[in-house]
């Protein structure tokens, strides 16, 4: 399984804000330069005034000074007007640049966070597609079929347990595999030393009931994220498939195979490794949620404890991908979203949300 890269050092919108900061500093330096020109111009006016006074004092002999003073006055007025024009133009340009950079930052943020959300939920869909394949494949295993049939011996059950344990040695993404009779009681499991589930009644479990209703070995049952006794209270997903006579997809139903998936090992890793910059992580939260907004995985560590809700949430979740800027929990946020795109024949129907305070 390929996971997202480690946190980025700086995001694109971080760089845009850096450009905005450079622009602000450039404008400040320009203002300082214009102020210096004004100071020089005031000095020039003083010199011009002194020249006129001196020319008037000495009469005809000072007429040349008067002409120079007049030219200096004219030059000073031109410089002052040019300085004011540069200042007005710079202020207009500064405002336009700030607006453009702010719009660019907003567009980049929305697009980028929505793309990160899509990458997360797509990775989960692709991984869980494999789980739906695993359970349908392993339900046809000869040892599992033999242990589920009527009249199975203790040796058959022990062999099935060892066989499921061998599978678990290679597929470490599972807590356990459980074989369940049609009466809802666990016949055998792959980790009997760690999870004492043999004999446990799981007949009212959603995954068991769903698989019990399936009419073909091509179908599977499922139960979404929940804390399971089968895994010592850990958060799991359970996929289930009917174990059928002869291992045939159309054979008579003998029992149910359930595979207990380590949900947090996948989902928490995905959300926590979303490639946001270190600065962004101080104001961001990444979640996997269902259609009701129930948090299934959470970078803030509140899985199955929170429901994410905000104005326009349902409309946003109906979109394949998008982002909104709105107030959430008393602060303006960019909330980006991507819906489960599905992979091959499988689709979770869940969503990834990236909530980033502005």
Structural domain containing residue 243? 132-266
What's the chain's average pLDDT? 88
Domain for residue 237, yes or no?
yes
Question: Using one digit for the tens of pLDDT, what is the confidence trace for 200-228?
Answer: 999 999 999 999 999 999 999 999 999 99
Tokens 């943020």: give the residue. 109
- The DSSP-derived string for 223-265 is EEEEEEGGGTTEEEEEEEEEEEGGG-TTSPEEEEEEEEEEHHH
Domain for residue 337, yes or no?
no
Q: Is 170 exposed, middle or buried (CB count within 10 Å of its CB: 0-12, 13-18, 19+)?
A: exposed
Distance, CA of 338 to CA of 26 (rounded, Å):
39
Instruction: Provide the CATH number for the domain around residue 214.
Output: 3.30.450.20
Residue 353 pLDDT grade (very low, low, confident, very high; cuts 50, 70, 90): very high
Nearest to 135 by CA among 92, 176, 95: 176
Q: Residue 143 contacts by C-beta under 8 Å, 6 or more apart in sequence?
A: 156, 159, 160, 162, 163
Is the distance from CB of 286 to CB of 354 less than 8 angstroms? yes
Percent of the chain clearing pLDDT 70 (strictly above): 85
Domain for residue 157, yes or no?
yes
Distance, CA of 108 to CA of 250 (rounded, Å):
52
Least confident of 56-60, 81-85, 297-301, 319-323: 56-60
The pLDDT assigned to 201 comes to 97
CA-to-CA dists, residue 181 to 23, 114, 229, 252, angstroms: 71, 45, 18, 13
Is the distance from CB of 117 to CB of 321 less than 8 angstroms? yes
Domain for residue 315, yes or no?
no
Given a cut of 80, is residue 118 above it in pLDDT?
yes
Domain count of the chain? 1
Domain for residue 251, yes or no?
yes
Domain for residue 232, yes or no?
yes
Distance, CA of 222 to CA of 208 (rounded, Å):
8
The more confidently predicted of residues 17 and 245 is 245
Is the distance from CB of 339 to CB of 319 less than 8 angstroms? yes
Ramachandran bin of 299, using left for φ above 0, alpha for ψ from -120 to 50, beta for the remaining angles:
alpha
Is the distance from CB of 239 to CB of 262 less than 8 angstroms? no
Domain for residue 273, yes or no?
no
Strands (E), the chain: 174-181, 186-189, 221-228, 234-244, 253-262, 284-289, 295-298, 321-328, 331-339, 351-357
The more confidently predicted of residues 349 and 106 is 349
Given a cut of 80, is residue 131 above it in pLDDT?
yes
Is the distance from CB of 124 to CB of 270 less than 8 angstroms? yes
The pLDDT assigned to 2 comes to 42
The pLDDT assigned to 98 comes to 74
Distance, CA of 287 to CA of 299 (rounded, Å):
6
Given a cut of 60, is residue 231 above it in pLDDT?
yes
Q: Which residues of 247-284 are buried (b: 16+ CB within 10 A; e: fewer)?
A: bebebebbbbbbbbbbbebbbbebbbbbebbeebbeeb
The pLDDT assigned to 20 comes to 60
Cα-based angle 41, 47, 43 (whole degrees, multiple of 5): 30
The pLDDT assigned to 87 comes to 75
Count Cα neighbours of 300 within 13 Å in the Cβ-side half-sphere.
Answer: 18
Q: What are phi and psi of 202, to 5 degrees?
A: -120, 20
Distance, CA of 164 to CA of 139 (rounded, Å):
11
The pLDDT assigned to 287 comes to 97
The pLDDT assigned to 29 comes to 73
Domain for residue 351, yes or no?
no
Nearest to 273 by CA among 242, 303, 297: 297
The pLDDT assigned to 4 comes to 44
Please give the order of strands across the beta sheet that includes 331-339: 295-298, 284-289, 351-357, 331-339, 321-328
Tell me the chain's radius of gyration from C-alpha atoms: 36
């Amino acid at each position: 399984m390929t996971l997202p890269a480690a946190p980025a050092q700086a995001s694109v919108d971080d760089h845009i804000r850096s450009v905005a900061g450079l622009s602000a500093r450039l404008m400040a330096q320009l203002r300082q330069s214009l102020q210096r020109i004004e100071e020089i111009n005031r000095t020039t006016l003083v010199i011009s005034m002194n020249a006129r006074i001196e020319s008037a004092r000495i009469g005809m002999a000072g007429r040349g000074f008067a002409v120079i003073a007049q030219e200096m006055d004219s030059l000073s007025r031109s410089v002052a007007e040019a300085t004011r024009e540069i200042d007005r133009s710079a202020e207009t340009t500064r405002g336009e640049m700030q607006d453009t950079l702010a719009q660019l930052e907003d567009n980049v943020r929305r697009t980028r966070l929505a793309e990160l959300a899509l990458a997360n939920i797509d990775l989960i869909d692709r991984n869980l597609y494999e789980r739906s394949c695993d359970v349908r494949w392993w339900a046809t295993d000869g040892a599992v079929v033999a242990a589920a049939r009527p009249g199975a011996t203790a040796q058959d059950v022990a062999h099935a347990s060892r066989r499921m344990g061998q599978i678990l040695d290679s597929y470490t993404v599972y807590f356990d595999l459980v074989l369940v009779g049609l009466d809802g009681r666990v016949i055998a499991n792959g980790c009997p030393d760690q999870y004492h589930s043999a004999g446990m009644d799981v007949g009212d479990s959603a995954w068991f009931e769903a698989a019990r209703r399936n009419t073909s070995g091509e179908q599977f049952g499922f139960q979404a994220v929940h804390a399971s006794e089968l895994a010592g209270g850990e958060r799991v997903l359970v996929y289930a498939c009917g174990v059928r006579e002869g291992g045939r997809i159309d054979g008579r139903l003998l029992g149910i195979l359930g595979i207990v998936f380590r949900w947090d090992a996948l989902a928490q890793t995905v959300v926590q490794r979303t490639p946001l910059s270190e600065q962004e992580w101080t104001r961001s939260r990444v979640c996997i949620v269902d259609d009701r907004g129930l948090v299934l995985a959470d970078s803030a560590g509140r899985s199955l404890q929170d429901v994410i809700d905000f104005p326009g949430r349902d409309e946003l979740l109906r979109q394949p991908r998008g982002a909104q800027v709105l107030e959430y929990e008393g602060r303006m946020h960019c909330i980006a979203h991507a819906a489960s795109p599905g992979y091959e024949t499988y689709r979770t129907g869940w969503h990834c949300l990236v909530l980033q305070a502005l």
